[in-house]
A and B are shown apart, each in its own frame.
Chain A
Amino acid sequence: MSERTENVVCTFCGCLCDDLVVEHEEGRIVKVLKACANGQGHFREYDPSPRLPRLEGRDVSWDEAYSAAGEILRSSRSPLIYGLSSAVTEAQRRAVELADRLGAVVDSTSSVCHGPTGLAMQGVGEPTCTLGEVRNRADLLLFWGCNPLVSHPRHFARYSTAKGRLTPEGRKSRTLIVVDVRPTAATKAADIFVQVEQGRDYEVLTALRALVQGKAMERPSVGGVAREALVDLAERFKNCRYGVAFMGMGLTMTRGRDLNVAELFSLVSDLNDYTRFSVIPMRGHGNVSGADQVTTWQCGFPFAVSFARGYPQYGPGEFTAVDFIARGDADAAVILASDPGAHFPRKAAERLREIPTIVIDPAESLSASQATLWLPTGVAGIDTAGSSYRMDGVALRLRPFLKAQRPSDEEVLVRLIEEVIR
């Protein structure tokens, strides 16, 4: 007899769609409704059956695993705790605590996606809003360096082009502008596609700021965009009712990085002299936004923090995981809910294989298969509970609908802390 659970939250991406329907039978998921392809995979690929930890290639009991973990952590002089972004807030809180108690470096996947966004915010601020304001108010949408149709497939339907209080006609109530270096599915869906030359976003943003402020532009084009097109954009921005810009890794991970983002944030700030305008970074992982939040509330800084001196030190470029590992500064690592073995640049990934690693992950990722110790945990929102932060900072409760047969990330981290402070 299959059971049905409604309003299930999907934690695959920063959209945290919370309207899914999951049918399950005898402790297994049989059908997922309303989810996008990414979300389908998130639910369907997880096997919730109990699994023993694996230490150096052999299955061991949980007790043995915890004492081995304790051994690794206690004998490390410069440990790294990395990942966090697919774990729930409760686990992230424990991960930062573990780092504090160990004197470790803690960093989240923010540092390889929206780290520059954080730096930009610290430089110039960030006028933002929740996704419901986009739904209810926004009549102009600007997507810059991101492709929601691939990375956040339900963003349009649920948020940015949904029908709302002042947007009764949904998509038709809006002008949709996409800026990218090449045509994508999103640019095809747009009313206006602005193609920028690779690596010239900063110049284009600066030109737009100048035009918005009423300055004349003499050059016929900037960054491959014609003057007329830029003038038209600037006018549209100033004359909309409520504009919202979304930005992604096309700005954060290309030439200019945090400077690109700061220029966009400044443009959005400037526009509030004329109308209302907000910006929302398109955060990727389900709770990467929460990782920033937790690290910030517990120690004051959003990512790239070292506790080696006993107090928190902020060091993007220094304590960001890729740099820290590639330099050979880490002598052990705890990897929570992420797969740096698969995603880090080659040098850092190689270094990672040379040091003892403890991977806490529901799935046997590449990092897990290469780890000294793999601790297989449950998935929040399927068989364990917790909270997650949407890309706009709204926290949702993840309710389990299957009976837990594995420990949660939080439970595992609590045990690691006990091992460390013993």
Chain B
Amino acid sequence: MTQLMVNGQTREVDADPDTPLLYVLRDDLELHAAKYGCGLGQCGSCTVIVDGEAALSCVTPLLLVEGRSITTLEGLGTAEDPGPMQQAFIEEQAAQCGYCIAGMMMRAQALLQKNPDASDAEIREALEPHLCRCGTHMRILKAVHRAAGLMRAASAAPAKGAA
């Protein structure tokens, strides 16, 4: 049994320690947002946040994340009550097929948590490991800028926390 903190909850999983985190999330924890794209660390579609840093879950074995805190897209909100990153992607309609989008959002979330005022150049640089085949890049950039704005607005209004 391996213990993980996933989206704020303690979870126990019974999988081989060499199992990539991606399959633990999807098959053991039924969290399907992180996607298999290449399994090689080349496309970013499996990205989640581990201890505040974006991580490629397809090349991160379970054994390396024991006891660490993991956030997946499901941890940012729901369709009924979307978090600011999700809200921004909905408002910008920033998806075509959407298969790459969960990974992009997690990378952007990790960036904005550390650097709420990230510049356009910083956002582009952060997203460099991510591929989108549908060509949704322009909207993804707009959505991340919008998310930054929503997060700043939320932290300025102390009534409701953003992250």
User: Is the A/B pair a real complex?
Assistant: no
> Which A residues are closer than 8 A to B by beta carbons?
none
> Which B residues are closer than 8 A to A by beta carbons?
none
